[in-house]
A = this chain, B = another copy of it.
Amino acid sequence: MSRPPTTQQFVLDELRKAILSGELAPNQPIRQDSVARRLGVSRVPLREALKTLEAEGQVVYRPHRGYTVAELSLEDLLEVYRLRELLETEAAHHATRRAETAELERVAAEHRAVAEAAEREDLVEMIAANRRFHFALLEPAGMPWLMRVIRTLWDATDAYRAVYYNSVDNRGRVLAEHEAILRAAWERDGTELARLLHAHRQHAVAALRDTMPPPSGGSATHGPEGRSHRTHSDGQSPAPGHHDAGPPPFPEGSGQE
């Protein structure tokens, strides 16, 4: 159980998991002292990790007021998904032309991993495997900057991902659609692949519309500010191993009442 090489990485991983799991809910203020103590670290590496998350759009920072988990309006989510489709279609187009057999087999393997996780009702692993599936599909495009942007867009919606996989219907649909996507990839049918990705995204968006709660009292459109500028980043390893979450839940109340 080798811990990450630096504490910031460790903290970053933990924060990602906390956001993904809902432990840190949208709009919730992140009390540095509290979180740092819970993780058994000082505030310095925590703040560096938060800066990374800020760049990814997962948390919002206001000087002297601290960080809060980003709250995305439905419009925000729709926009992010739309951008993902635009970019992933582009990536898929190139990937289908260049993918080696070994790479395609990797995609197939991830597909099985998703299925298996669904079988076990292991939501966390299903989400992770789903992500690996999609990235394995696009990686052969050999466009690192494009991948980086796509990765950021995935990260940006992490706080809203779990809802989707709570639904058994959605889980089943995801599997079926992945299979079709996989087939199109094997046959190197870029057009069909684009069509499938579009449908895949459409269904996800439709599911989101249903599960999204009415915008909380806070200011509506959060997301990126008009400020000077800041942006995203590339993540890093999802930290192998370390399942069994023993540690107690995160601090603070939901923050959105």
Complex Cα–Cα for A149 and B63 (A): 22
Contact residues in B for A226 (Cβ distance below 8 Å): 139
The CA of A228 and the CA of B230, in the complex, are separated in Å by 22
Known: A5-B63, A149-B231. A223 touches B144 (CB 8 A): yes
A30 to chain B, nearest CB (A): 15
User: How many identical chains are in the complex?
Assistant: 2
Name which residue of chain B comes closest to A90, CB basis.
Answer: B86
Known: A63-B5, A63-B9. A76 touches B235 (CB 8 A): no
**Known A51-B48, A52-B55: A231·B152 in contact at CB below 8 Å:** yes
Given contacts A151-B229, A234-B227, A237-B227, contact A145 B86 (CB under 8 A): no
Interface hub of A142, A151, A230, A235 (most chain B Cβ within 10 A): A230
Assess the A152–B232 pair: CB atoms within 8 A.
Answer: yes
Q: Provided the pairs A63-B5, A64-B5, A152-B149 are in contact, do residues A56 and B144 lie with their beta carbons within 8 angstroms?
A: no
Q: A6-B64, A9-B63, A227-B237 are in contact. Are A55 and B232 (CB under 8 A)?
A: yes
Residues of B contacting A237 with CB < 8 Å? 227-228
> CB within 8 Å of B: which of A13-43?
13
In the assembly, what is the distance between CA of A152 and CA of B156, in Å? Answer: 15
- From 50 to 67 in chain A, residues with beta carbon under 8 angstroms from any chain B beta carbon are 51-52, 54-57, 63-64
> Can you name 7 A-B pairs with beta carbons within 8 Å?
A6-B64, A51-B52, A52-B54, A57-B233, A83-B149, A86-B86, A227-B234
**Knowing that A55-B230, A149-B232, A228-B236 are A-B contacts, what are 16 other residue pairs whose CB atoms are under 8 Å apart, sorted by A's residue number?**
A48-B51, A54-B233, A56-B230, A57-B148, A76-B145, A80-B145, A83-B146, A86-B86, A86-B87, A144-B222, A145-B156, A145-B224, A149-B149, A155-B229, A225-B234, A230-B234
